[in-house]
Amino acid sequence: MTNNKRIAVLGTGMVGQGIANKLISLGYDVMMGSREKANEKAVAFVTSHASTGRASNGTFAEAASYAEIMITATHGESILSILNGIGAAALANKIIVDISNPLDFSQGMPPSLSIVNTDSLGERIQRAFLSARIVKTLNTVNVDVMVNPKQLAERSDVFVSGNDAAAKATVVDLLKEFGWDAPLDLGDITTARGTEMYLALWIRLWPIVGNPHFNLKIVRAL
């Protein structure tokens, strides 16, 4: 467990709400960051948790200064511009938990990836902010599974990718609080290519399964 009980969530959509609500339930203090502090979904999040006194809202920059851990819960493509707006100085040494995928809907459905194969969104963020500590994780599952993996019929796997061992350890502790028993450390941030490219299979499995509440389990030899 990290001692740090403050986390910023960047983004107010379904993923941001799901993550932020889970963090509040786990006892964290959470600031939901958005472009405009008065974002109505961020205000609704704070209002819904008013009795706890632990939910707050702010601009992206305020969220970045609020916490040592930030979770990116916006569309993959917008993360780099949001982080650029915050600025490298404010991101130094921060743990940026990137749970997004660089989905490209411009060619219709199903989406392709806008960064792929010899690069990944995780790597691109790390290269853009060398003094931040990027950890890629949770991007292989729907938000409901992210925060409640035990809803599935059996234990399944989640992955972490990143260059900073201490940052990964902090994130692994957080994942365990979410209900992930044994996150698999794939290695440095280049391994984010693997989990981001798995999305191409995930989006094909969704209609087969009939809902987005599924995950993969690595099955090994006897």
| Residues in 122-151 that interact with its own copies by CB under 8 A | 151
Dist. CA 34–CA 159, nearest whole Å: 27
Residue 156 lies near its own copies (rule: CB under 8 A) = yes
Strands (E), 46-151: 55-59, 69-72, 95-98, 103-104, 112-113, 133-137
Contact status, residue 94 vs residue 88, Cβ threshold 8 Å:
no
Of 10, 116, 137, 143, the residue at the interface with its own copies (CB under 8 A) is: 116
CB atoms within 10 A of CB 172: 19
Rounded-to-integer distance, Cα 200 and Cα 150, Å: 24
In which element (H, E) is residue 204 found? helix 192-209
The strand pairing partners of 134, in sequence order, are 96
Residue 196 CB, nearest approach to its own copies (Å): 8
Q: From the list 128, 152, 163, 177, which residue makes contact with its own copies (rule: CB under 8 A)?
A: 152
Q: Does 219 bind its own copies (CB under 8 A)?
A: yes
For its own copies, the closer of residues 29 and 164 by Cβ is: 164
Nearest-approach distance from CB 167 to its own copies, in angstroms: 19
Q: Does 43 contact its own copies by CB under 8 A?
A: no
Tokens of 125: 């963020």
- 187 counts as binding its own copies under rule CB under 8 A: yes
Interaction between residue 118 and its own copies (CB under 8 A): yes
101 binds its own copies (CB under 8 A): no
Euclidean distance between CA atoms 67 and 78, whole angstroms: 20
Instruction: Give me the DSSP letters along 51-69.
Output: TTT-EEEEEHHHHHHH-SE
Cβ 33 to its own copies, closest distance in Å?
30
Q: Which is nearer to its own copies, 45 or 159 (by Cβ)? A: 159
Tell me which of 3, 51, 81, 107 binds its own copies, using CB under 8 A.
Answer: 107
- CA dist., res. 104 & res. 146, Å (int): 22
Size of the site for its own copies (CB under 8 A): 42
Task: Give 34 or 156: the residue with its C-beta nearer to its own copies.
Answer: 156
Residues in contact with its own copies by CB under 8 A are 107, 112-113, 116-118, 151-156, 184-187, 191, 193-195, 197-198, 200-205, 207-209, 211, 213-222
